[in-house]
Amino acid sequence: MAEIVVIGAGMSGLAAASRLATLGHRVTVCEASGTYGGMVGRYERDGFAFDTGPGLLTLPAVYRDLALKTGKEPLEQLVELTPVDPESRHLFPDGTDLTLPNASRGGVSQALDAAFGAGSGARWSAVMNHGRTVWEATRRPLLEEPLPSEHGVLTPADRAVFDTDPYPVPPRTGLARLRRPVRWTLDTVAHRQLGGHPGLTALLGEPALRYGLTAGQAPAGAAVLAYMEQSFGVWYVRGGLRALADAVYRRCELRKVAFRFDTPVTRVVVEDGRARGVETADGRIAADVVISAMDTDALFRQGIADWPGVPPREWEPVEVPGRFSVLLALRGGRPAGTVHRTVVHAADPAAEANALTLSEPPCERPTVQVLRPDDPTLRPDDAHESVVLTATVPAQDEVDWTAPGFADHYADRLLAHVDAAGLGLRERVLWRVVRTPEDTRRETGALFGAVAQPVLAGSVAPSSGLKAANESPVPGLYLVGGGAHPGGGLARVGMSACITAGLIGPA
């Protein structure tokens, strides 16, 4: 039996703690805040409740595996999990209104033909077939297995697996053969295979945008994000995703994991070249293994742990966009036929991309996700409705979200934008709460309040490259969560915990 300390009680920390305790280790979790869940937060007031982080779940198989491996009950006995159908409604600047079914590629194709004209579904299906190619080629090395070389220093053979985008590039002829090949981005895919159609282009780029990547940044392999959602489905947890965090926390308690809340770790103790515990305000906690589930950039940038040979001031954090949310408490019941997830697409996609990549002010009319769950547990009664608006915006290092009145003004702009698309929310608002990347930074410790990105094949930008390996260069120190392999998102941080538990092994 090993003594293990986990730094951080976010979803990856909870998942790792429950798995390792099930394997027979004695696990203590130190959490800087007063609660668990990390990004999967919850805001409650006057009978209303809201998810303050992600609101929907993809690849629930990750948490089904966690439930089965750490206890006898399947996930469906721990939480009420239902597919979201229709999966989404999309409102475009030209007035097009598109509704997509959940986990039905044939249904999606028919909907696209009806909205954008005959042949649109076939072109989209061809791109999704390439997404399937990406999934089949990279699922194991990019999601289910550790980085193949020690501490993420890849050999040329390893690099070929991670750097080669399996999305096929048309053969070059003539003088073009003499030029250096250029990797495709999602923009390239949209231009060459979707004919540059603005609606199809926006639809392809929207999943990547939620992770802070514009279509011009995201590699062509990011088509796998849309493929996964449309092939495996999108799911909702009754009570919001916070209920999933509650369930994993209860599993930790069942497995006798010890929790120390309001206990920030100030230093990873290294003796004789190996992690031997952590320092906190309450003193040292000895351990045989330390697992950091906190933001990886913050861990090394703040000097809580050392990356051998790299002083903290030289540790370069990955600067990516953040999440801006408006929590709306509405008078009046949820209208019949309301779709759970509506996406109001940007009025000017180029302006949105410039705001996220060129240090320009936030886009006035960006892509906005509107979540309107039909869940009685989130509202005081059926005469009210809880709604969450979310947009991807420059993080705190690019925009001062704490400037007086700035966030409220931007929330007004988002409300005006979605109402111009026909949602009619503003006149029903009882009260609202505005959340910016600064709130994310303050509550979770993520540098700049940035969203966590996944690892994607064929990366073309530093922000979408490989994450830190789960096994750090310091023996006995492991890394999990959105800043470690295989990257951000609820499913991936659960996978990082599974990979790390496998590396440590049973007691």
Q: Predicted confidence band at 462 (pLDDT cuts at 50, 70, 90)?
A: very low
Q: How far is CA 172 from CA 168, 182, 225, in A?
A: 12, 11, 28
Residue 400 in 3-state DSSP?
A: coil
The H or E element spanning position 161 is helix 156-163
- Which residue intervals of 276-405 are DSSP H helices? 296-301, 349-357
**Cβ atoms of 189 and 458 closer than 8 Å:** no
449 within domain boundaries: no
Q: Rounded mean pLDDT of the chain?
A: 90
Closest CA to 429 of 384, 391, 382, 367: 384
Residue 308 pLDDT = 83
**Cβ atoms of 429 and 388 closer than 8 Å:** no
Partnered with residue 5 across adjacent β-strands are: 28, 290
Residue 173 pLDDT = 60
Residue 154 pLDDT = 56
Residue 464 pLDDT = 43
Answer yes or no: do 308 and 209 share one domain.
no
444 within domain boundaries: no
pLDDT of 179 over the 80 cut: no
Residue 444 pLDDT = 84
Residue 460 pLDDT = 43
64 within domain boundaries: yes
The H or E element spanning position 465 is none
Answer yes or no: do 138 and 156 share one domain.
yes
121 within domain boundaries: yes
User: 10 phi and psi, to 5 degrees?
Assistant: -70, -175
Q: How far is CA 425 from CA 30, 224, 450, in A?
A: 41, 33, 28
pLDDT tens-digit readout, 346-399: 999 999 999 998 878 899 999 999 999 999 999 999 999 999 999 999 887 778
pLDDT of 178 over the 60 cut: no
Q: Predicted confidence band at 47 (pLDDT cuts at 50, 70, 90)?
A: very high
Answer yes or no: do 293 and 350 share one domain.
no
The H or E element spanning position 359 is none
Average pLDDT over residues 136-140: 86
User: 495 phi and psi, to 5 degrees?
Assistant: -65, -35
On the CB side of 459, how many CA atoms lie within 13 Å of its CA? 19
The total of other beta-carbon atoms located within 10 Å of residue 28's CB is 19
Answer yes or no: do 329 and 410 share one domain.
yes
CA distance 6 to 12: 10
pLDDT of 315 over the 90 cut: no
pLDDT of 211 over the 70 cut: yes
Q: Are strands 234-237 and 57-58 parallel, antiparallel or unpaired?
A: antiparallel
pTM exceeding the 0.85 threshold for the entire prediction: yes
CA distance 396 to 403: 11
Q: Which residues contact 160 (CB under 8 A, 6 or more apart)?
A: none
Residue 62 pLDDT = 95
Residue with tokens 């410790």: 445
Q: Which amino acid is at 35?
A: T
- Residue 168 or 200, more confident: 200
Token output for 26: 């004695």
pLDDT tens-digit readout, 320-332: 789 999 999 999 9
**Cβ atoms of 142 and 464 closer than 8 Å:** no
The H or E element spanning position 470 is none
CA distance 417 to 429: 15
Residue 317 pLDDT = 59
Answer yes or no: do 29 and 105 share one domain.
no
pLDDT tens-digit readout, 52-104: 999 999 999 999 999 999 997 899 999 999 999 999 999 999 999 999 999 99
Percent of the chain with pLDDT over 70: 89
Answer yes or no: do 248 and 223 share one domain.
no
Token output for 35: 């609660």
447 within domain boundaries: no
Answer yes or no: do 65 and 118 share one domain.
no
Answer yes or no: do 96 and 206 share one domain.
yes
Answer yes or no: do 247 and 269 share one domain.
yes
Token output for 320: 């990516």
Q: What is the DSSP letter of 386?
A: E
pLDDT of 294 over the 50 cut: yes
pLDDT tens-digit readout, 10-44: 999 999 999 999 999 999 999 999 999 999 999 99
- Residue 320 or 197, more confident: 197
Answer yes or no: do 351 and 430 share one domain.
yes
Answer yes or no: do 198 and 217 share one domain.
yes
**Cβ atoms of 307 and 300 closer than 8 Å:** yes
Q: Which amino acid is at 242?
A: R
443 within domain boundaries: no
Average pLDDT over residues 487-507: 94
Token output for 303: 């000097």
CA distance 215 to 349: 10
Helix, strand, coil share (%) of the chain residues, nearest 5:
40, 20, 40
**Cβ atoms of 324 and 393 closer than 8 Å:** yes
CA distance 365 to 385: 24
Q: Predicted confidence band at 461 (pLDDT cuts at 50, 70, 90)?
A: very low
453 within domain boundaries: no
Q: Which residues contact 86 (CB under 8 A, 6 or more apart)?
A: 99, 100, 101, 102, 339, 340
Cβ-in-10-Å burial (0-12, 13-18, 19+) of 239 comes to buried
Q: Detail the DSSP E strand segments found in 231-377.
A: 234-237, 258-260, 265-271, 274-280, 283-286, 289-292, 322-331, 341-344, 368-371
CA distance 180 to 484: 31
Answer yes or no: do 164 and 247 share one domain.
no
**Cβ atoms of 373 and 339 closer than 8 Å:** no
151 within domain boundaries: yes
Query: Which residue range is the domain that position 216 belongs to?
Result: 88-172+180-232
Residue 302 pLDDT = 87
Average pLDDT over residues 482-494: 91
**Cβ atoms of 68 and 54 closer than 8 Å:** no
Residue 29's domain is classified under what CATH number? 3.50.50.60
CA distance 238 to 244: 9
Closest CA to 444 of 6, 28, 36, 115: 36
Average pLDDT over residues 256-265: 97
Task: Tell me how many domains the chain contains.
Answer: 3
Q: At what angle do helices 61-70 and 490-504 cross, to 10 degrees?
A: 40
The total of other beta-carbon atoms located within 10 Å of residue 107's CB is 18
Percent of the chain with pLDDT over 90: 73
pLDDT of 201 over the 60 cut: yes
Average pLDDT over residues 136-165: 68
